Amino acid sequence: MPTQIYSPPVTLPRLHARPNAIVHVRRACMGDVPRLYEIINYYAVRGDMLPKTMDQLYNRVRSIDVAEADGEVVGCAALHITWADMAEVVSVAVHPDFQGIGLGRRLVEPLFDEARQLGIPTLFTLTLQMGFFSHLGFREVPKLHLPHKIWQDCTTCFKQDYCDEIAMVREMFE
């Protein structure tokens, strides 16, 4: 079977979905991955978030939620479990046409319920979007307050020597 080569997008393809369309949040499936790759890496090439490979997205598809409008993926968020008592909110992105209408909140808040159901007391995120995460109840902490375990991912991150992301945490049972 021929391998399809994907390269990071410089622009996002125009959506058919109308900005006033009804949006559903659901678990991602395999068919969503190429669009997830486009949205996440569109922001990643601008330095807004970390990039994801197709491989990583397929591997983690069961933990990614998507927002779908008119049959198209217009946003995403995921929970990445780090250890018994901690999980990371990752890959939060909303297509520019759908920003500012509460979709980021609709994608992230269900992750709180999921964390509580799993018995995970603390969520954290590493982000440049402090304003957004503050509105969702996260507070800034010194990066070194996060446990050593979370730095495993940093060893393969291209930002490891000049990380500009802010660490934020949110308690789930307060």
Ligand X SMILES: CC(C)(COP(=O)(O)OP(=O)(O)OC[C@H]1O[C@@H](n2cnc3c(N)ncnc32)[C@H](O)[C@@H]1OP(=O)(O)O)[C@@H](O)C(=O)NCCC(=O)NCCS
Cβ-closest residue to ligand X? Answer: 131
Binder among 24, 105, 139, 149 for ligand X (CB under 6 A): 105
CB under 8 Å to 58, separation ≥6 — which residues?
Answer: 30, 33
Residues 13-72 within binding reach of ligand X (CB under 6 A): 43, 48-49
Single residue of 94, 120, 123, 167 touching ligand X by CB under 6 A: 94
- Of 97, 117, 49, 45, the C-alpha closest to 77 is 49
Please state the φ and ψ torsions of residue 134, each to the nearest 5 degrees: -60, -40
* Range 115-134, binding ligand X (CB under 6 A): 125, 127, 129, 131-132
- Collapsing DSSP to helix, strand or coil, 32 comes out as helix
Task: Pick the binder of ligand X from 33, 66, 69, 92 (CB under 6 A).
Answer: 92
* Three-class SS state of 153: helix
Q: Which is nearer to ligand X, 93 or 146 (CB)?
A: 93
How far, in Å, CA of 91 to CA of 116, rounded? 20
Selected from 102, 110, 119, 147, the binder of ligand X by CB under 6 A is 102
Nearer to ligand X among residue 70 and residue 119 (C-beta): 70
3-state DSSP call for residue 157? coil
Nearer to ligand X, 119 or 135 (CB): 135
CA distance 104 to 136: 10
Interacting residues toward ligand X by CB under 6 A: 43, 48-49, 92-94, 99-105, 125, 127, 129, 131-132, 135
